[in-house]
Amino acid sequence: PVLVVDFGAQYAQLIARRVREARVYSEIVPSTMPVAEMLARKPRAIILSGGPSSVYEEGAPRLDDARALFTAGVPVFGMCYGFQLMATTLGGTVDNTGAREYGRTAMYVSKTSSTLFEGTPAEQSVWMSHGDACSAAPEGFAVTASTDLVPVAAFENDEKRLYGVQYHPEVMHSTHGQQVLEHFLYRGAGIEPSWTTGNVIEEQVAAIREQVGNKRAICGLSGGVDSAVAAALVQKAIGSQLTCVYVDHGLMRKGETEQVEKDFVAATGVQLKVVDAQERFLTALAGVSDPETKRKIIGREFIRVFEQAQAEIVAESAGTGEDVAFLVQGTLYPDIVESGGGTGTANIKSHHNVGGLPEDLEFELVEPLRQLFKDEVRMVGSELGLPDEIVQRQPFPGPGLGIRIVGEVTRERLDLLREADAIAREELTAAGLDREIWQCPVVLLADVRSVGVQGDGRTYGHPIVLRPVSSEDAMTADWTRMPYEVLARISTRITNEVRDVNRVVLDVTSKPPGTIEWE
Ligand code: XMP
């Protein structure tokens, strides 16, 4: 792999993605990993990410043996902080010139014959974020770019295959960043682009067969992209040894349960156990308006129903020699990285409140997506033949419409919200806005009433809130500036077609301060 060394400021994930976009396989390692261990993984190249704004910053992370890393003969690309680390380790000068640069900056390429910059313009826009700056490159390095404030904004030593840039090529504000990264990978490090989702599928199918053998596996389907793709992949590997469980809690959107029951099964041929638990959830939620309480109830009931279904499947297979020993999960690479990047297979204990099961029953996890980013998961899903309606789904919260009704959750209110939501989704899709909008929660203010006039009479109904947001990761979001005509169509249709709704309002709050969901 190409190793991306993470100096701790969230750039590493983006870099790893960009490397994979260049069709080269990459993995993130923490900067605390000993250099000897990094080299033992025989990386094709190493990229040092950004991090603190200066190598002289107090507590700035260090590699245990930076010199060894730069002299091992492995191609290295230092970015921002990684660039300064390369400079200082190899005898260049990084000092406090007062040259702080933050944000979009004009950079001048001084040597167009450079490995990194060939074919890119002499002046280009780059994203800077640094305090101290490099004023002299290490011996043997050619300076290839500068800015108005920084004499050494990039350098390279082709013979030693060491490259560095002060800016962040991985962010889109650096106009030629991807090209520069690809130049490093293909020309500097001599790597052929060959990583494809087809490789992933082949590799994973083999690995799953090896892991599961002739045992059985179960997988919970949520209706979301990750669990669907994980299940499809495992289905491809072990076929009828897999059973999927889908808990219909009645809080899904219109058509979602049918999508899982029909489209997913049609595309994969998976064995599916659908548990209709609508009554159970409605009963448990009766009289509850507090958001946190609702979430807790939904989570609790979900686990109970799932465990019950699981126990039934386990009981059916018990003693057949094909016991259920595996649980499939759609864990993604960012989840792994965020939780510290463990590599072993975790064992989770099943809960003890399941009747008739041995106390110490354990499932081993099968996590075929643990190397992948979300966009790659979508590509794998498409390649496995899953329909776009499943693969391109926007995020939808586990508690479903239960947390999109402000007030008590009842069957009537769910039906009403389902209608309004279906209209909004239909119009957004028709307007071609599905990709631009990260997600658009539709919220029913069930505890609010407002006066309206419809037909010849006064109405006293409920408002529906539209909450279209743009986001990259749901951590932050901005409200989407949607075309007025589309808003108008949604508003007209909802007020005309959904009974008891006489008003549609638009949420124009970014996150922070407002979360994406209302509850
Ligand atoms: P918030 O509302 O916190 O939402 O800005 C961020 C993202 O997470 C989704 N979300 C959930 N997803 N279970 C989920 O699986 C949940 O309980 C949950 N709550 C919020 C939300 O839709 C958005 O994409």
Question: Among all chains, which residue has been given the structure tokens 């259920």?
Answer: 324
Mean pLDDT over all residues of the chain?
91
Q: Quick check: CB of 507 below 6 Å from ligand 1?
A: no
Question: Among all chains, which residue has been given the structure tokens 């992948």?
Answer: 372
Contact at 8 Å (CB) between 381 and 225? yes
Domains 2-188 and 197-391 alike in fold: yes
Separation in Å, CA 417 to CA 63, 73, 101, 432, 460: 54, 61, 49, 22, 17
pLDDT band at 136 (very low <50, low <70, confident <90, very high): very high
**Ligand 1 center from residue 442 Cα (angstroms):** 13
> What pLDDT was estimated at residue 353?
35
The residue nearest atom 7 of ligand 1, judged by CA position, is 474
**Ligand 1 center from residue 457 Cα (angstroms):** 39
pLDDT band at 371 (very low <50, low <70, confident <90, very high): confident
One DSSP character per residue, 235-291 reads HHHHGGGEEEEEEE-S-SPTTHHHIIIIIIHHHH--EEEEEE-HHHHHHHHTT---H
> Of the listed 101, 134, 156, 170, which one is catalytic?
170
Contact at 8 Å (CB) between 216 and 324? yes
Spatial CA neighbour of 420 closest among 496, 517, 512, 351: 496
Centre a 10 Å sphere on the Cβ of residue 113 and count the other Cβ atoms it contains.
8
Structure tokens at 243: 């059973």
Q: Quick check: CB of 365 below 6 Å from ligand 1?
A: no
- Calpha distance 464→443 (Å, rounded): 6
- Calpha distance 48→70 (Å, rounded): 11
CATH of 2-188, one of 3.30.70.260, 1.20.1050.10, 2.30.30.240, 3.40.50.880: 3.40.50.880
Query: Does 401 score more than 50 pLDDT?
Result: yes
**Ligand 1 center from residue 505 Cα (angstroms):** 21
> What pLDDT was estimated at residue 345?
35
Q: Among 131-145, 155-169, 327-341, where is mean pLDDT lowest? A: 327-341
Structure tokens at 501: 């709704």
Mean pLDDT computed over 273-278: 96
What is the domain partition of the chain in residue ranges? 2-188, 197-391, 410-506
DSSP E strand stretches across 93-197: 93-95, 101-109, 123-130, 133-136, 142-147, 154-157, 162-165
- Is 173 noted as a catalytic residue in this protein? no
448 compared with 55, residue with greater pLDDT? 448
Q: Which of ligand 1's atoms lies nearest the C-alpha of 439? A: 24
Structure tokens at 29: 């390692």
> Of the listed 130, 168, 176, 462, which one is catalytic?
168
Give the percent of the chain with pLDDT over 90: 73
- Calpha distance 405→462 (Å, rounded): 11
**Ligand 1 center from residue 317 Cα (angstroms):** 36
Question: CATH for 197-391?
Answer: 3.40.50.620
- Is 219 noted as a catalytic residue in this protein? no
Which fold, 410-506? Answer: GMP Synthetase; Chain A, domain 3 (3.30.300)
- Is 249 noted as a catalytic residue in this protein? no
Q: For 302-331, what is each residue's pLDDT tens digit?
A: 888 988 898 899 888 887 878 888 999 898
Mutate to test the pocket of ligand 1, among 438, 516, 518, 519 (most ligand atoms within 8 A of CB): 516
**Ligand 1 center from residue 127 Cα (angstroms):** 30
Q: For 209-259, what is each residue's pLDDT tens digit?
A: 999 999 999 999 988 899 999 999 999 999 999 999 999 999 999 999 999
Task: Please state the pTM of the whole predicted model.
Answer: 0.77
Centre a 10 Å sphere on the Cβ of residue 457 and count the other Cβ atoms it contains.
7
Q: For 171-217, what is each residue's pLDDT tens digit?
A: 888 999 999 999 999 999 999 999 888 888 999 999 999 999 999 99
Helix (H/G/I), strand (E/B), else coil: 367: coil
Query: Does 350 score more than 80 pLDDT?
Result: no
Q: Which of ligand 1's atoms lies nearest the C-alpha of 222? A: 15
The residue nearest atom 18 of ligand 1, judged by CA position, is 397
